[in-house]
Amino acid sequence: MATGATDHKALMQQALDLTKQSPPKPTNFRVGALVVDYSSNEVLATGYTLELPGNTHAEQCCFMKLAEKHRVPEESLSEVLPSTLALYTTMEPCSFRLSGNLPCVQRVLRLASCIKKVYVGVQEPNKFVSDNTGEKSLADAGIEVIHVGGLEKEILEVATEGHEKA
């Protein structure tokens, strides 16, 4: 799938559209993600919360699909992927998982030689984990975190569908 010349808002909209496939639950946010090779503007993988078994997050699903496609363990993806990748995610990658699964920030950091930029639609609300340090961890590793504006209201509405309203 090729996209237009780095239309960041269109790519974030594509991630938001994926989010809508995630089942609404009161115990998680619905998130969508894309891994894009910015040298060719090709979407290499897509994912959304709970797409794959195991209480999976959107970014995790992208990486699991890429690992399967390349027939390598997820931990070895940096050996087979190009060094010109960007991650688009509707919500800032998590820095802590209540489920005990590896946080998405740690998954991105394993790919720091490949993923140079992370585009986010919104920061993670403090509902489940307060003080998400994802953005700081990525920036400290030299990964640029860029906010894509204009879709925040819709992202948060979709992300929190199934949650009790305050």
Task: Please identify every residue annotated as catalytic.
Answer: 59
Rounded CA separation 2/16 (Å): 17
> For the purposes of burial, counting CB atoms within 10 Å of the CB of 15, is it exposed (0-12), middle (13-18) or buried (19 or more)?
buried
**Do 33 and 90 touch, CB atoms closer than 8 A?**
yes
What is the identity of the amino acid at 16? Answer: L
- What is the DSSP secondary structure assignment for residue 75, as one 8-state letter? G
Angle at 86 between CA 84 and CA 88, to 5 degrees: 165
User: Measuring CA to CA, which residue among 52, 51, 42 is closest to residue 4?
Assistant: 42
Tokens describing residue 139: 């920036």
